[in-house]
Structure 1
């Protein structure tokens, strides 16, 4: 004989509370006493009751989903961030939707269509191009900026990029390097500017200047690192160390030099930024600045879920520290 499906009324009867109390215990446990919450959860376990998330979301006019907009899903930098994000939102009963904004001809238009149609209960933006004043000015669901930032009216979780670049410069200087080059990120990008500011400040503090002919344009990709290697090899007067604004560019730079017969770090020391998974497996292993990527995703999710629960569009932004990871790609000069 088929067992009858248990209802919230059954849970209330067994626990000796009202259906409203059962609802609060399941959806907002902090609003009920511990003893009441324990009675409700015991009744849930005894009956095997399962919350109908679809019906609950319809009543609340929610989708039950969180949307992450990522500028390049092929970039391994985002893997651990999305993992941390997914773990937290899943534990809170939300599904995670991910969209790549890189090939979208008008990513802002797509973003506003998500907002207008309430296709998600909250957004996590990894693409700083979308964080403009239009987003802060119009009615919307809660939004968190992660990694990049734009309009200061939007809450964000980000790392101290300027300090990360400064850490890299200080490490090179401590190892005897005075001729330091830089592969930048894309022009106008907020991460590019922040890391460039940190580089310049640390070099000024060390009595050095960033030479224009030792500053190579990049866009955070492997190809940009290869192009910078070609430019480095074409110089008569070369820097003894190169700071790369991303690990992908550092990988491209090292690979192109090695194919051309130049040894790293004997010919040039190299330091990256991000600490993606491959860094420790390269030859030589890459010295880099570690961003705690899983923590970035976890914190962004926690802030966003809290905003949704509070029905608020605001929260306090967070800054996360970075860490220098010394490996074999930087040598000490005599």
Structure 2
């Protein structure tokens, strides 16, 4: 691999002259510039990004920490973030904590050592160490989707409680009164907010939430399958609100295995509107959010801090949820209420 000194020898100039040409840091005569550029091309010289970043005190790299990169929701968020930063000359280091707090701590340490310019975090769960580490990260931080208690950082998220309430009211207004809820892990604030929205809407409509109507899952399809199986064998709901689309898809499988027709015997509504929810059968009604735009908003919020466009108090961007009605929900006893996306 060629070095800056190799280029200097080939061009017949000092290596500091090569540095000035590469970094455009000082005027260089046209003759020398042409010779340097020719030498760079001949030797396939690639400037050291590390050396340049040390000089500029910036690396043009962003850290992105997600709890589960196999979850389509976080994959779509990451795509929005990566695409936005790529268009603005940054690269993104993606780290997957696998919903493990200890792994999250290790990645926070590693990302700090990489001298990133900023960090976007979707937390694996409540963790006092994460709050402390991010508060002392020394770079701008944006939290997406999952708030971290005690951390003074910009936050971009959907209104989880309002979205869950929206889905539940919709099911009640269809005529369902025996409604089950598949919650996410009790350790996540997102799950707690979505369950709170479910309970709020049930109370607003004068409906009780009987024992056994809320079953904890883990935001995965197997977790949704297991939780729905408990609901079907227990309260036998005519409708289920699932705390995310993957658990809703798992519930569809559990219903099919029991010969429970969706939506004639049981309506199912998810949360997130991941792309996959459009292509399962029946297609999954859900509480949606523009996930790519959510990622882009998080990226834009961070870049505003990095380049100094925004200073001062932290900001909270709350995205209003929308209801996306598809084939998996209908009034009790009706096979299909709609066969097309209907957004409310």
Higher RCO (CA-CA < 8 Å; seq separation 6+): 1
User: Which residue is 1:182 aligned to?
Assistant: 181
**Aligned residues: CA RMSD:** 2.9
1:74 aligns with 2:70: yes
Structure 1 residue runs of 5 or longer lacking an equivalent are 15-50
Q: CA deviation at 1:165?
A: 0.3
Q: CA deviation at 1:126?
A: 1.0
For 1:67-216, list aligned pairs within 5 A: 67-102=63-98, 106-114=102-110, 116-129=112-125, 132=128, 133-151=131-149, 152-216=151-215
Deviation string, structure 1 residues 52-85 (Cα, Å, up to 9, x no partner): 9666522222222101111111111112211110
User: Which residue is 1:296 aligned to?
Assistant: 294
User: Which residue is 1:270 aligned to?
Assistant: 268
The 1:185–1:256 alpha-carbon spacing in structure 2 relative to 1, beyond 3 Å, is same
Q: Determine if contact 2:97/2:124 at 8 Å carries over to the other structure.
A: no
Q: CA deviation at 1:265?
A: 1.0
- How many Å separate the matches in 2 of 1:109 and 1:95? 22
User: Which residue is 1:218 aligned to?
Assistant: 217
Deviation string, structure 1 residues 285-315 (Cα, Å, up to 9, x no partner): 1110112111111011111112111296964
- How many Å separate the matches in 1 of 2:221 and 2:73? 13
- How many Å separate the matches in 1 of 2:29 and 2:277? 58
Deviation string, structure 1 residues 15-70 (Cα, Å, up to 9, x no partner): xxxxxxxxxxxxxxxxxxxxxxxxxxxxxxxxxxxx99666522222222101111
Aligned length: 297
The 1:9–1:183 alpha-carbon spacing in structure 2 relative to 1, beyond 3 Å, is closer
**TM-score, reference length from structure 1:** 0.80
The 1:169–1:303 alpha-carbon spacing in structure 2 relative to 1, beyond 3 Å, is same
- How many Å separate the matches in 2 of 1:313 and 1:140? 15
- How many Å separate the matches in 2 of 1:153 and 1:108? 19
Q: What SS class does the counterpart of residue 230 from structure 2 fall into?
A: helix
User: Which residue is 1:21 aligned to?
Assistant: none
Deviation string, structure 1 residues 247-299 (Cα, Å, up to 9, x no partner): 11111111122122221112211110111112112221111011211111101
User: Which residue is 1:28 aligned to?
Assistant: none
- How many Å separate the matches in 2 of 1:116 and 1:75? 25
Q: What SS class does the counterpart of residue 72 from structure 2 fall into?
A: coil
